[in-house]
Chains A and B, each alone.
Chain A
Amino acid sequence: MTTKTVFAIFFLGLLVLSLVSYFLGRGKAKEAMVGGASLHSRPNHYGGYVVAWFAVPFVGICMIGGLINLICRAYETGGLPPFIYLTLAFVVGLAGAAFGYLRIRPELRARNGVEKVIHHTLVGASFVSILITFGIVASILFGSIEFFAGSEKHGRDPVSPIEFLTGTTWAPSGGAELKFGAVPLFAGTFMITFIAMLVAVPIGLFSAIYMAEYMPYRLRKWVKPILEILAGIPTVVYGFFAVVTVAPMVVEFSNWIAEDVLTPGTWLSDVFAAATHENALTCGVVMGIMVIPLISSLSDDVINSVPQSLREGSLALGMTRAETIRKVVLPAALPGIASAVLLAISRALGETMIVYMAAGLSPNLSANPLEGMTTVTVRIVSVFQGDEDFNAPEPLSAYALGLTLFLVTLILNVGATIIVRRFRQRYEL
């Protein structure tokens, strides 16, 4: 029996038998009502009651069976064949439905029973998000532990975390000696993020100030969604744009500067002449444009929520609007703006496609943004592009990089949340 048939039987059985139980239960309740009995709940609650008696054991047994088989597979022993669980589920489920059906009488509190089941389902659903977090942490943590601990079975040397965080050579495959010094990757990531912020913070902030303080409301209603188009463009599209349009422009421009503006051969001219088609500047600029709406929207909200009384007080003292903004509104909104910038940084650090397409794949520890460099995210995604061996050191190194990325972005996000909460408390919003 293939997995597909098992799932087909499961879903089909669940659907058909649930419907049957529902109509049986409702029918019995309706009959009682026609007979003159006064029901505690509506007839469809009695239907739902029978469905609950059927579906809960049915789904439960199937899930437990699936879990047992998964664990068996993890320990490389065959579990029971799935049709045993399915048969068991059908038998118990039908027995449950029959029991529920027999219990139906006018004074049965069917509504309460059904709602209890629904309530527990909702609680279960809200735990899924916790499970996802747990899954992310567990997967990258286990991968990282395997990576750092090494394995004799697969002939992998342990890697010291200190070397990982401070080493300056990243040579995860090939060569005689593998080296896992992630500093070039961190440097590339921070360089690109830094350039992105140089672009995004001034543009985003001034757009926000203008939108919040000067622009009439009706115009703002149009401008804001247009600005947000920038955040809605898929990153792979930005990547294509960076490679095909921006990168040649950057290279041409810096070659022009190196040859015509500066004297060739000098130090600064060499810096510009080093420009390659894959470079950090292109990525940084394009990524900066991508995060503009993130900064402008959040800052706009924060500036708008600075109490009007502060502005009025300042204007009444004879300050111009620009002075009011600079000396009253911005200081008051500073925490919110800071948190917007933190979120933008976290977004830029985790950005993958633009850098993967436009920044290059080779690690390069350099302070020159016109050279190609690579980032943490690029290494993670480029490892898993073929039929790789999951026990080789290089794929596992991706988990260690993922762990670093997760921790850094988590700190930034939590920091941003705390700052915003303080800000809101201060103005009692």
Chain B
Amino acid sequence: MDEREARIQKRLKRRKFAEIRYRFYGLFALFIAGAFLVFFFGDMISKATSAFKQAWVQAEFSYTQSMVDSKSPFASRRAIDRSMRSFVSPEELRSIPDFLRANPEKVDQSETRWALAGREVDQYLKGAFNKLKEEEIELAEQLLAEGKLELRFNWGFFTRGHSGDPEAAGIWAATLGTIYVLLITMLCAVPIGVATAVYLEEFAPDNRLTRTIEVNINNLAAVPSILFGLLGLSILIQFFGLPRSSALVGGMTLGLMMLPVIIIATRTALRAVPDSIREGACGVGASRWQVVLHHVLPLAAPGILTGSIISVARAMGETAPLLLVGLNNAAKDAPGSLTDAATVLPAQIFNWNNQAIRAYQERTAAAILVLLVVLLVLNGFAIWLRNRTERKW
């Protein structure tokens, strides 16, 4: 009898231990996911912070007429003394001819002013890998001591477009491109998506055609995004002849991609409106369309809005289909119209990541940080909106 008791106790112990083990597995899995998130965000932030500072240097510029006339880009280099030349960003030198054309009185004059510093100095000040020579480091230290070299907040990062020089590269053009693309995306996807959802949920008879459309929409939502890129390339660009690399093509491609997402979200929102509302409206003589327009849609609007915001956030991070329709061009300037060559933030991130110059890395991380913050804000807003407007009938 004692032996049996002991056996049962032993087994109970084992079973209880198994129970604890099971819980531990689950906690461990969640811990890994959480640890990854913390590590990921920490890593991005630590890589990005240095990009928000930018070195500026005080240098003497002496302008000559030959800088305006010469077609050679090297003529402007003479504006700066040889010893300081590598300290000033080539972007500053490139802008000299235009500057002189705008201010002809400055020709044959010289002035001492603050200028964007070159990338090597910039990286040196931030303590990152750089290619400064020994004497240049000495000079940099001397300038630093004299207050002629300093780190400032990098406003240029938010106001400039892409540049071949990392110190002058910014995200403004890509941000504007993203806004254009998303505008087109929503203009394409939301009206058609809501109309489809209203039809399927409120009007469609339950027949084979309706079921085909439903199955089709569900499958479309799971089609790999890159195939939408192929669609945009061969139908929108090659068949309809829309301009490649434009915000229009990018937005329409993403619009087609987001359509099923918006349809599904809208249907869920419509389904949440109780039938009593519809019956009540019908009871006072409204037609079916009046029921939908005057009663169901206003009640479902917060849900539709939430779904739309979430799909905007998804579209904002989408890259692969946009690469196929040519939105990864290194656009220096913000697109002037919907048909101009444009680039978007994710494509810019991809582009910078491909650059051989190391100084781009911090800027890539900073662009990522900006993108992530916008996405978090959008998603957070959507969740807040959902919690606020959620209604139990």
Interface residues of A (CB under 8 A from B): 4, 70, 73-74, 111-112, 115, 118-119, 121-123, 125-130, 132-133, 135-136, 138-140, 142-143, 202-207, 209-211, 213-214, 223, 225-227, 229-230, 232-237, 239-241, 243-245, 289, 292, 320-323, 325-326, 343, 346-347, 349-353, 356-357, 377, 380-381, 384-385, 390, 398-399, 402, 405-406, 409-410, 413-414, 417
A396 to chain B, nearest CB (A): 11
A38 to B337, CA, bound (A): 51
- Asked whether B230 lies within 8 Å of A136 as measured between CB atoms, the reply is yes
Indicate if B99 sits at the interface (CB-CB under 8 A). Answer: no
A243 to B364, CA, bound (A): 12
A139 to B230, CA, bound (A): 7
- Asked whether B225 lies within 8 Å of A352 as measured between CB atoms, the reply is yes
- Asked whether B213 lies within 8 Å of A129 as measured between CB atoms, the reply is yes
Contact of B36 among A230, A349, A380 (CB under 8 A): A230
Name the segment of B128-136, B153-161, B236-244 touching the other chain. B236-244
- Asked whether B29 lies within 8 Å of A207 as measured between CB atoms, the reply is yes
- Asked whether A227 lies within 8 Å of B33 as measured between CB atoms, the reply is yes
- Asked whether A234 lies within 8 Å of B213 as measured between CB atoms, the reply is no
Beyond A234-B319, A409-B224, A410-B219, whether A241 also contacts B43 by CB under 8 A is: yes
- Asked whether B235 lies within 8 Å of A139 as measured between CB atoms, the reply is yes
Report B169-202 CB contacts with A as 1/0, cut-off 8 Å.
0000000000000000000000110011011100
Q: Pick the most buried of B233, B240, B314: most chain A CB atoms within 10 A of its CB.
A: B233
Beyond A122-B196, A323-B15, A353-B350, whether A289 also contacts B226 by CB under 8 A is: no
- Asked whether B222 lies within 8 Å of A237 as measured between CB atoms, the reply is no
A346 to B233, CA, bound (A): 23
- Asked whether B26 lies within 8 Å of A357 as measured between CB atoms, the reply is no
B163 to chain A, nearest CB (A): 19
Contact of A126 among B19, B32, B196 (CB under 8 A): B196
Contact of B259 among A111, A132, A143, A384 (CB under 8 A): A132
Chain B residues lying within 8 Å of A122, measured Cβ to Cβ, are 195-196, 198-199, 203
Name the segment of B90-98, B119-127, B295-303, B371-379 touching the other chain. B371-379
- Asked whether B220 lies within 8 Å of A133 as measured between CB atoms, the reply is yes
- Asked whether A126 lies within 8 Å of B230 as measured between CB atoms, the reply is no
- Asked whether A289 lies within 8 Å of B33 as measured between CB atoms, the reply is yes
Indicate if B278 sits at the interface (CB-CB under 8 A). Answer: no
A354 to chain B, nearest CB (A): 10
Interface size on B, residues (CB 8 A): 90
Beyond A322-B19, A413-B219, whether A399 also contacts B230 by CB under 8 A is: yes
B227 to chain A, nearest CB (A): 6
A356 to B323, CA, bound (A): 11
- Asked whether B222 lies within 8 Å of A353 as measured between CB atoms, the reply is no
Indicate if B330 sits at the interface (CB-CB under 8 A). Answer: no
**Interface of chain B residues 248 through 296 with chain A (CB within 8 A):** 256, 259-260, 263, 287-289
B275 to chain A, nearest CB (A): 20
Beyond A70-B240, A126-B196, whether A353 also contacts B319 by CB under 8 A is: yes
- Asked whether A119 lies within 8 Å of B216 as measured between CB atoms, the reply is no
A230 to B36, CA, bound (A): 9
Chain B residues lying within 8 Å of A204, measured Cβ to Cβ, are 29
A134 to chain B, nearest CB (A): 9
Contact of B29 among A206, A405, A409 (CB under 8 A): A206
- Asked whether B200 lies within 8 Å of A126 as measured between CB atoms, the reply is yes
- Asked whether A320 lies within 8 Å of B19 as measured between CB atoms, the reply is yes
**Interface of chain B residues 305 through 334 with chain A (CB within 8 A):** 313-314, 316-320, 323-324, 326, 328
- Asked whether A236 lies within 8 Å of B317 as measured between CB atoms, the reply is yes
- Asked whether B26 lies within 8 Å of A209 as measured between CB atoms, the reply is yes
Indicate if B45 sits at the interface (CB-CB under 8 A). Answer: no
B240 to chain A, nearest CB (A): 7
Q: Pick the most buried of A230, A243, A326, A384: most chain B CB atoms within 10 A of its CB.
A: A384
- Asked whether A210 lies within 8 Å of B223 as measured between CB atoms, the reply is no
Chain A residues lying within 8 Å of B260, measured Cβ to Cβ, are 129
- Asked whether A240 lies within 8 Å of B365 as measured between CB atoms, the reply is yes
A377 to B259, CA, bound (A): 22
Chain B residues lying within 8 Å of A405, measured Cβ to Cβ, are 224, 226-227
9 more CB-based (< 8 A) A-B contacts, given A353-B350, A357-B353: A203-B33, A210-B30, A240-B368, A244-B47, A321-B22, A352-B225, A352-B226, A353-B319, A406-B223
Chain B residues lying within 8 Å of A133, measured Cβ to Cβ, are 216, 219-220
Indicate if B361 sits at the interface (CB-CB under 8 A). Answer: yes
- Asked whether A384 lies within 8 Å of B324 as measured between CB atoms, the reply is yes
- What would be 30 A-B contacts, judged by CB atoms less than 8 Å apart? A70-B239, A70-B241, A119-B289, A129-B259, A132-B231, A133-B219, A135-B235, A136-B223, A136-B227, A136-B228, A139-B230, A143-B230, A206-B26, A206-B30, A210-B25, A234-B318, A234-B319, A236-B319, A236-B350, A239-B350, A241-B43, A292-B33, A321-B19, A353-B320, A381-B323, A384-B233, A385-B328, A399-B230, A402-B230, A405-B226
